[in-house]
Chains A and B, each alone.
Chain A
């Protein structure tokens, strides 16, 4: 396994390098190409094929780079053991170094680097919009005070202290001979002061610290942009003015401009947020493009703020924060999902590109003006003053905070002061005419960025573990918790009323009333307003989720029949609930990771899906449950359609007649049954539609009566097989694919345990035509991909499964379900050798 892994990795790397070389080669060509282009005015005839690289150069390169970044990320993410130690952002920077080196080698100069324009206009906005749109509003606003203190005072402190200290050291002679004045130091300090949202997201999302700590660092990084922009602009102006022209008026103007920039930016964002909400109120007829409005208007808010020289980052962040609730309520559920994913694609993509280019930009001889004193002192001061600032500010805050920040939290907050591309972008914007040492500053900024992102990023996780910082609890919401949270809210408001204090909760309550009364009325569709209730919402979501698990579980066991067939289900439940109870938690853990953390809550719940059924039948008329059922049906049909599609497309065009199909199936089953009976040790090769003659044994479900019943559930194509008595020892896991078939009679309970050891992820590819056709028959159910891949096949399981062969009832098989569940986790089915990989992954994810 590891060997093949390495091979895969190598192969990918080679592909990558080829790609890059291709790019640089093409790029080299482009220069010579321009000459041809200039001379090529005299054409002799109509060219049939012409190579017009110049024509497509820019977009082509952009797209290629996006592709390269994506592939780089893919390669990095494929190596879990690396990413678990080194954060992805750091790895991307390193990949950037590599690419940068290659480009440098090919071109002898840095052709590609991150320019401020590209960064601020095309890469940054979507990341910030994403951050705002997915901002946990309640958490953010309840910590807003602390966040603002850090963002405003903390950033100013960082800028001033770093700038002044560097200047002091300069005066002391630590830098040698460089031409930087006090104002320029302060300018440099202001650009290096800001904690970078992109870097913070990238590092902290892998660490999972507790949410208060996260919001403090992240909120600060988001909001301090207003401060940075102002400081940068002010000092930039001061540098241009020159020291002697700065007087009190200018300084006061600077301070005023801070408020204007920060609040103005937020206001612009707020207005655009309202605009989006209003727009989505009336997009009922253009649901296809309604998702686009968020991006367009969000970007517009960014550009508007930029145009008015307000804080663009604050603007787009607040735009996202304001509109999230209303657009989620207003838009169609599908559009909400679209927005969610598109947002993530954009944000993640540009984050990747940013880090990649941060690496690439470093390989450029021209920016490296080495000054040991300056660089080392900057790194040192940035780190030290961050710590001092955080500790001092949190110390003050703790006097007022309801729940004080612990020392561990404060350490992580200090350590989380990551600098990133924003600082680099600002450094690139410095005016070379005014600041002689621009390149030194760029280089130093890069060093600081690498130091914080790579070194601090890598050490962040161990530090968090070592300090035992409170981690985020898995965010599995339960109804009772939701209800209880609401009770808490009401309770606190009541207590504040009784004790006659106007506190946080009072304000929040007032805001909520106002919001519900006016803003929702104004910004939300009437229909959406009605549905809006949190407890109810959670219930709805839990129901949907359970329904999905229910289906998944059913499919995994190979039968969906019980979903539609009441009696079958009850039968099933009665029989198997007990045996199954131990296994269920494990199964749910397997089914979705999100359940893992939650399982402790439900440990004693024997089966989520089983229990849920009671609920479903209870409130069958509820819309949720109708939806649920609808969902179930959809899943069912979708799954089968895919089977059918594949089959009717690829091999089988005959067997259109349904009866014929049924007949064939029955015949097959009968022969199989006989062959099974005859071979106790079973060396009989599959007789019918066998595609894997190498299987030495076969077994199928004894399904006595079902042959004449005419209704079958068949899972996949051929034979379900495993060896008999010696199966435990003689089983060869690499033997790839052997599909199985199982039958059961609908209406009489589940006759057929479909979680038998079918190990073939490929199986659906080989469904015989009769099955493909049979899906039209509503009583037949195909086993899903998940159901098959999830099957147990360790030797011990097989032993346990052995009784299956003689039993005619499915009871036994259900009993066996418990073992597999716990063992499946670490199983990786080897890909079956001959046929192409299965392409129906999507069915696995319900």
Chain B
């Protein structure tokens, strides 16, 4: 394997990334390896097609949205630092980090994690989950068994639950409140990114 410091050299901007995201050397190396595997043509960046080539993602009901969270529409490519930054959302929350710090909130904070989840719904980026957006999401996840009408009433019900200011859409704050009992750290962290 070689010494880790020499391996780290081949990752561009590794130190800064570690600083920024809190990943360890092993994490960065591991992710870089993965990045290279995904980047089959060795262009140094990933394109939409590279993500779409991941087989399991194709069967994931919200796979498209996840890809969308990596490769922003308009920007066709994704370099390694951006790749790492997105994945940093899934690092378990540090217990040491406190709000009083002057530095920007790290990507693995609760709010940032939720913001990420929120953006999966909020496809048009207007800061609200509209009825149509929620319907789309549910449609993706519920499959065939549910009729349109049932879907509509589920959506209506869900919005009604969360929509505190009665504007017919779920804002980020409302979203945050609706899942406040959920242990986000459990649900939006993966072990190996620790």
Interface residues of A (CB under 8 A from B): 400, 402-404, 473, 478-481, 483-501, 503-505, 530-531, 533, 535-536, 539, 542, 601-602, 604-605, 611, 614-615, 618-619, 621-622
Contact = CB atoms under 8 A, between A and B. Distances in A.
A433 B30 CA distance: 63
- Between A402, A483, A493, A602, the greatest number of chain B beta carbons within 10 A of the residue's beta carbon is seen for A483
Contacts of B156: 614-615, 618
Nearest to A539: B154
A263 to B, nearest CB: 26
Nearest to B194: A402
Contact of A535 (B142, B160, B188): B142
B61 interface: yes
Contacts of A618: 152-153, 156
B190 A503 contact: yes
Contact of A490 (B60, B146, B152): B60
A403 B189 contact: yes
Contact of A479 (B34, B157, B189): B157
Contact of A615 (B66, B157, B188): B157
Given A498-B34, A500-B33, 13 more contacts: A403-B92, A478-B178, A479-B161, A485-B187, A487-B117, A490-B61, A495-B87, A495-B90, A498-B54, A539-B154, A604-B164, A619-B149, A622-B150
Contact of B190 (A478, A484, A496): A496
A404 B170 CA distance: 32
Contacts of B31: 499
A619 B141 contact: no
B97 interface: no
Interface of A is mostly: helix
A481 B56 contact: no
- Between B60, B186, B190, the greatest number of chain A beta carbons within 10 A of the residue's beta carbon is seen for B190
Nearest to A479: B158
29 contacts: A402-B92, A403-B185, A403-B189, A404-B95, A478-B162, A479-B158, A480-B158, A480-B178, A486-B141, A491-B66, A494-B60, A498-B34, A498-B57, A499-B87, A499-B193, A500-B34, A500-B38, A503-B190, A504-B190, A533-B145, A533-B146, A536-B145, A536-B146, A536-B150, A539-B154, A605-B160, A614-B156, A618-B156, A622-B149
B168 to A, nearest CB: 13
B34 A619 contact: no
B57 A497 contact: yes
B18 interface: no
A493 B56 CA distance: 9
Nearest to A614: B156
B138 A611 contact: no
Nearest to B121: A487
Nearest to A543: B157
Interface of B: 30-31, 33-34, 37-38, 51, 54, 56-57, 60-63, 66, 70, 87, 90, 92, 95, 117, 120-121, 137-138, 141-143, 145-146, 149-150, 152-154, 156-162, 164, 166, 170, 177-179, 181-183, 185-194
B142 A533 contact: yes
Given A497-B54, A536-B146, A619-B153, A478 B92 contact: no
Contacts of A536: 142, 145-146, 150, 154
A404 B191 CA distance: 11
Contact of B138 (A483, A497, A542, A605): A483
A497 B56 contact: yes
B181 A473 contact: yes
A500 B137 CA distance: 25
Nearest to A529: B145
B161 A602 contact: yes
Nearest to B165: A604
Nearest to B95: A404
A152 B138 CA distance: 43
A618 to B, nearest CB: 5
